[in-house]
Chains A and B, each alone.
Chain A
Amino acid sequence: NAGVTQTPKFQVLKTGQSMTLQCAQDMNHEYMSWYRQDPGMGLRLIHYSVGAGITDQGEVPNGYNVSRSTTEDFPLRLLSAAPSQTSVYFCASSSAPKETQYFGPGTRLLVL
């Protein structure tokens, strides 16, 4: 089973460039989330979705956009990359609030 997949695994951007981090899950999960992980900061929630067409902001949404047109996909868009967005990004999904959240392998992003 594929579970949660993320592409790309690594990316280098220049300041001001835009890009989309892809996330897909094949478990028919309604709940999906994007986190960023920085040293000493744990995981911080960027955006999340409780179903197709429904998204909401997390703790650190500035500079990021999301959409959820299908149950399977939850892309994260960086509108104009900044060095402060250098981080490791994780996508996760779950079927319900009480259920386990499954994480993708992560995308390492470096913004120069």
Chain B
Amino acid sequence: AQSVAQPEDQVNVAEGNPLTVKCTYSVSGNPYLFWYVQYPNRGLQFLLKYITGDNLVKGSYGFEAEFNKSQTSFHLKKPSALVSDSALYFCAVRDRNRGSTLGRLYFGRGTQLTVWP
């Protein structure tokens, strides 16, 4: 069964420090991988995605993520955190090889990122 794990419910970092939000997945075959961010009382906003090609993907607001096939991971990173990055982050995966379930996007439980000044 497809699944996505975000092992940390919360990540706390100081402004200016690098941040990492972890994500691992279990999908049969090669997945499409996504990161979304949710600010309080808002819908989810797209950050970045991995489809194919370069394992390092760059996205919005200075975020990037590294696809590691052997470790089935897709960790979100940013070299220098901002207080305004504080939000709830979701990793999601879609199986590209399944016919009738192509429409399904599987989400992790989310990681609350807090960046303190």
Give A residues with C-beta under 8 Å from B: 31, 33, 35, 40-45, 48-50, 56, 58, 90, 92, 97-98, 100-106
Contacts and interface: CB of A to CB of B under 8 A. Distances in A.
Nearest to A40: B109
B96 interface: yes
B103 A48 contact: yes
Contacts of A98: 32, 49, 51, 94, 96
A97 B34 contact: no
Contacts, number: 64
Contacts of B42: 105-106
Interface of B: 9, 32, 34, 36, 42-46, 49, 51, 90, 92, 94, 96, 100-110
Nearest to A100: B46
B90 A97 contact: no
A49 B101 CA distance: 10
Nearest to B52: A98
Contacts of B36: 103
A92 B24 CA distance: 23
A58 B96 contact: no
Nearest to B106: A45
B91 to A, nearest CB: 9
B109 A56 contact: no
B109 A42 contact: yes
